[in-house]
Each structure stands twice: as structure tokens, then as C-alpha cells.
Amino acid sequence: MVYVEPIYSSPTSQTPSVMKLTSRERQLLDAAAKGNTDRQISDDLNISIETVSSYWRGIRLKFQASSRTECVARFSQQQSDCQAVKHQEESDELLKEIRQRTEAQLRELEQKKMLAAITEASLSYMSGKTNLKQCFDKLLNDALELTSSQYGLIGEVHQENGKPYMQEHAFTDVSWNEKTRMLYALHHGHGFEFANLNTLFGHVMTSKEVVLTNDAPNDPRSSGVPEGHPALDTFIGLPLMNGDELVGMICLVNCESGYSDETVDYLKPMVATCTNFIVATRVQRERERLQKQIAESEALVHDLLDRIPAGLVFETLGRDVAFVNETLLSMFKLPVTSDQMIGISGRESSEKIGSLLKNPDGYIDRVHELINEGCPTNADVLELVDGRRFERDFVVINSNGIPTGYMWCYRDVTRTSFTRRTDASELSSRATVH
């Protein structure tokens, strides 16, 4: 934040002592300063000449002056001094007001800069134009500039075996030798990890509180810096809290004028913004993990259902096809893919299947009957025009006792039926022979 130097100086001299004079004495002195004689003063003030002389004696005594002229000179000097002090006070008040207005305008400007920085980052993040790291890179640069800091980082705090560690998302390049430059190049973009809790960074993680020091080398919470590392003189670490959970931190280093509680207050909007970014990112990560897990489970279920030697059709309560396995498509020799069947109406799917049967009207009527009754049915026999015979099972699918859809299961029993008929013929022949 900008520190404003005073633009005025308080007067060093004391307000001059003012001789206590009566109003009549001031009238005499004002008249004498204009060059009037005692006779003119006597006439103007409508007092006797003796009274004028008496006043002069009192005035000379107060000023400890030896003459009337000296009294007038000292009175004039006193008037000039008082006027000068009055002008100085008025000037000081004006300059003070200007300074206050200037400081207020600068604070307002700084707040506008902060608001602009977090607004730009928020809009960019929510629009998907930038990821978390890119947003934090921008916010870190803004924070360094707005606080006149030399370097810093923004990181996310995780837990491992009950201990916190920080993964940086934005980090100022402070590599100080060839080894650290290679290390920075290797990890930048993936995130450094900081697990040492015996540092100023670590104290933020363990205390979950603001860590502020303007004498870092002598701070007992600091473990110093490696040889050749840039100096760490002043430090502020701001925890990013989501309720009672520490989700990250902002750390800034080496503000020449030091950090203060005003710095903490000034950075509160950025702290809140970074916290929201991390929380939102974690929610998105968990959503993506669950979606991946669901997709993998669905793929596994679909694969298993495709391997079942029976044709399966799942329909919603509105009779839209939700799933068809490959076995059913093969059984009815439908020239479509399972994905192409998804979403078509049950009426359309019934017509596709019914067109292959000897009694399509009876098939469709039976479908309506089963759905209206809602009772499970097994082994309905279907005869196809090509001579094959299928058995069909029907069941209403429930979730916690609430109907959610229908399942149809078809099995090819052509060979079984043929075997049964053959066996029956052989037995009849044997009976005839005997």
C-alpha cells in the first residue's frame, strides 16, 4: 500500500503571548497608530485629556515601555504576530484537510485496484479461460505490486498422515544458484511442496493464524534461509480458511516499510477470493472424480450386461429406452447400435421388434397389458417369422419401493423347443413300435 508523506509542517514557534488590554486601551493604541494626537483621541473618544494621559500610563506599564511611540510599536508588532499565527493556523487546517482528502482518495484508489484485480481473476476463472494456477499467478503479481513486496507465493494446504503440507500454485522465482534454478525449472508448473513446519510458512499451517513479522531474521518462528538465498527481512502469511479448515495461504516477503494490521485488512478481499477459488477447485475435482468413477462403473455394468446370453431392454416410466444390450440387437437382427436405441420411445422399439414376429399386434397388446398390470411375468413365448422362438420376462424396476422403469429380458429357446419336440417324437415312435 502507498504511504503518504505529510504535505504540511506544523509551526515550530509558539503562539505569541498577547498583552491583555482593555477595549478602551486598544482604541487609544489604534488611534495613535493612525497618527492621531492625544487631543484628537480625546475628542474622538469623548474623554478628557487627563483621562487619555491616565490610559497611556497604564499602557506603558503593561508594555514596560518608556514612551508612547514604543507602546504603539509593540502593539503593532503584537497585532502582526497574531495575524500571522491566525493565517498559519488557517493554512495548516487547509493543508490538513487536503492531506486527509488525498489519503482518502489514495485508499479508495488502492481499494479499486484490489477490486479490479480480484474481479478480473474471478471472471477469468469462472469463464474457464484460466485455470487455478494461472489465476493465482496473476493475483500474486497484483498482491506484490499493491503491497510493494519483493516476492511471495500462494499455495494450497493438504494433509498427509495427519500433518499439513503446502503445494504452491503461484511462486516468485527466487532461485539463487544453478542447482535451485534447475529445481525451479523442474517443479514450476507442477508445484513445489513445503512440508517443513519449523518455518514462518509452517507456523501459518500449524497455527492457522496470521503470521506477521518485520524482523524475520530474529523472529524465533523463523529457521532462516539457505546460503545465497535472497534476504527475508519482513514477512506476512495469511491463512486461507474455509470454516475451520485451512485450505491454503498467501505469503508475501520484504515490504520495505513493513507489514501491519492495515495490510491484513487490505488483503482480506484477496484472501476471500483465493479461498473461494481453492474450495471451488476442490469441489470440481471431487465432481470429476465421482463422474469418472460413475462412468467406469457404468462401463463395467454395460460390459457385463452385453456379455449376458439374453437380450435386455431397460425403459423409463415414460417408456423411453434407457439401455439395450448388444445381445438383444443380435437376437432381433436390428441394424442399429445400442447408442442409437437410447432415448427412442417404447412404442417405436415395440414396433421394431413386433415387425419380426408372427403376431405383431398380439405382441404390442401384450406389452400394454403387462405395463398396465405392473406384475412381473416370466416365459411369455414369442414366435418369429423366421421360425425361431423367444421367451420374454417382464419386471417393474423399483428404487426404495418407488417404480422407476421397466426391464424386458429375451432368451432364444429355439433349440430347446426343437429338442423337446424331437424327444417327444422319439418317445411316440418307440411306443408305436412296442
**Is 103 in the same domain as 181?**
no
The answer to whether residue 340 sits within a structural domain is yes
CB atoms within 10 A of CB 151: 16
Judge contact between 121 and 139, C-beta under 8 A. yes
CATH number of the CATH domain containing 257: 3.30.450.40
| Chain mean pLDDT for the chain | 83
Same domain for 376 and 260?
A: no
The answer to whether position 119 is within a domain reads: no
pLDDT band at 306 (very low <50, low <70, confident <90, very high): confident
Q: Say yes or no: 83 and 139 in one domain.
A: no
222 and 334 assigned to the same domain: no
One domain, residues 211 and 247: yes
- Give the phi and the psi of residue 286 in degrees, each rounded to 5: -65, -40
Give the position of cell 532462516.
Answer: 224
> Does residue 158 fall inside a structural domain?
yes
Backbone angles phi, psi at 240, to 5 degrees: -100, 105
Map residue 80 onto helix, strand or coil: helix
144 within a domain of the structure (yes/no) = yes
Residue 300 pLDDT > 80: yes
**What pTM did the predictor assign?**
0.58
Q: Are 29 and 71 in contact (CB under 8 A)?
A: yes
Whether residues 185 and 321 fall in one domain: no
Tell me whether residue 302 is in a domain: no
pLDDT at 123 over 50: yes
Together in a domain, 236 and 141: yes
Share of the chain above pLDDT 90, in %: 35
Lowest mean pLDDT among 254-258, 338-342, 424-428: 424-428
Identify whether 356 is part of a domain.
Answer: yes
Q: What was the pLDDT predicted at 6?
A: 39
Does 275 lie in the same domain as 147? yes
3-state secondary structure of 230: coil
Calculate mean pLDDT across residues 15-43.
Answer: 83
Tell me the average pLDDT across 383-394: 93
Judgement on whether residues 157 and 215 belong to the same structural domain of the protein: yes
| Residue 214 predicted with pLDDT over 50 | yes
Residues contacting residue 286 through CB under 8 Å, at least 6 positions apart = none
The total number of residues shown for the chain amounts to 434
Number of domains in the chain: 3
Q: Which domain holds residue 312?
A: 308-420
Indicate whether 18 belongs to any domain: no
Backbone phi, psi, residue 27, to 5°: -60, -40
Q: Residue 73 sits in a domain of what CATH number?
A: 1.10.10.10
pLDDT at position 228 over 70: no
Q: What is the CATH number of the domain that holds 321?
A: 3.30.450.20
- What integer pLDDT is reported at residue 181 of this predicted model? 52
Beta carbons within 10 angstroms of residue 211's beta carbon: 23
Q: Determine whether 5 is exposed, middle or buried from the number of CB atoms within 10 Å of its CB (0-12, 13-18, 19+).
A: exposed
388: helix, strand or coil? coil
Do 154 and 267 lie in one domain? The reply is yes
User: What phi, psi does 178 have (nearest 5°)?
Assistant: -60, -40
Residue 125 lies in a domain: no
pLDDT tens profile 332-382: 888 888 889 999 887 888 888 888 899 988 988 899 899 998 889 998 999
